[in-house]
């Protein structure tokens, strides 16, 4: 068995390529250029039916910041309910206050709606004002996993903070953003992370099984 790799996928083709390449899990979303938003439930349903690996789904109503209005919270709650009905593995959520702290009241509502699904706190964490305080809040909320680039533009640049979070314990750290075949071994060594997140894009700009294979098996 190679590394545990979660592939970020925006189409059924990409999701199937991820599985064929040896990914352990996929995260579904749409509109990656703005950081990803909630995918269509038709896409989610087709992926759950087609794949044998776990399917996680990003719940984010729009691009931009992570300070959400009540209307947007209601949209996220509705999306979570739809995901539960379809039978996904986990939802990927996150919310911040205007001061850059984890929005604990909103997160509690989203997590309560999501259970018993797994919950990943997404890279809103990397825009928090104080990463250590934010991480403690995420753990206290009972999140199963944190997707992070270590408060930097890429997981490679943030690998040492990722390592600090791994040592703190409390939830699984999923190292993501800019994870590529040429740097994953260094991120792994310096952070001791055991789960990695990548779009695994090849030359076509889409998730490709060859790139997934490289990431999972340390092939350059």
Instruction: DSSP for 140-206, please give it.
Output: HTT-SEEEE-SSSSSTTTTHHHHHHHHHH-SSEEEEESS--TTTHHHHHHHH---EEEE--B-TTSS
pLDDT at 220 over 80: no
pLDDT above 70 as % of the chain: 100
pLDDT at 99 over 80: yes
CA distance 192 to 49: 34
pTM of the model: 0.96
**With bands split at pLDDT 50, 70 and 90, how would you rate the model's confidence at 2?**
confident
User: Length of the chain in residues, anyone?
Assistant: 220
Per-residue pLDDT tens for 120-136?
999 999 999 999 999 99
């Amino acid at each position: 068995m190679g590394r545990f790799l979660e592939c970020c996928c925006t189409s059924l083709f990409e999701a199937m390529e991820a599985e064929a390449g040896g990914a352990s899990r996929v995260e579904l979303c749409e509109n990656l250029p703005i950081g990803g938003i909630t995918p269509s439930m038709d896409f989610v349903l087709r992926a759950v039916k087609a794949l044998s690996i776990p399917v996680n789904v990003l719940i984010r109503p729009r691009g931009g910041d992570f300070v959400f209005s009540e209307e947007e919270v209601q949209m996220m709650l509705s999306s979570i309910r739809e995901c539960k009905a379809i039978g996904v593995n986990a939802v990927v959520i996150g919310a911040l206050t205007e001061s850059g702290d984890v929005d604990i009241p909103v997160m509690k509502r989203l997590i309560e709606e999501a259970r018993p699904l797994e919950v990943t706190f997404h890279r809103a964490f990397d825009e928090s004002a104080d990463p250590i305080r934010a991480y403690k809040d995420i753990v206290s909320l009972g999140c199963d996993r944190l997707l992070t680039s270590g408060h930097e533009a890429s997981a490679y640049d943030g690998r040492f903070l990722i390592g600090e979070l791994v040592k703190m314990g409390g939830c699984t750290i999923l190292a993501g953003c800019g994870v590529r075949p040429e740097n994953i071994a260094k991120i792994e060594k310096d952070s001791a992370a055991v789960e990695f997140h990548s779009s695994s894009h090849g030359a076509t700009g889409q998730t490709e099984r060859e790139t997934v294979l490289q990431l999972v098996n340390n092939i350059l």
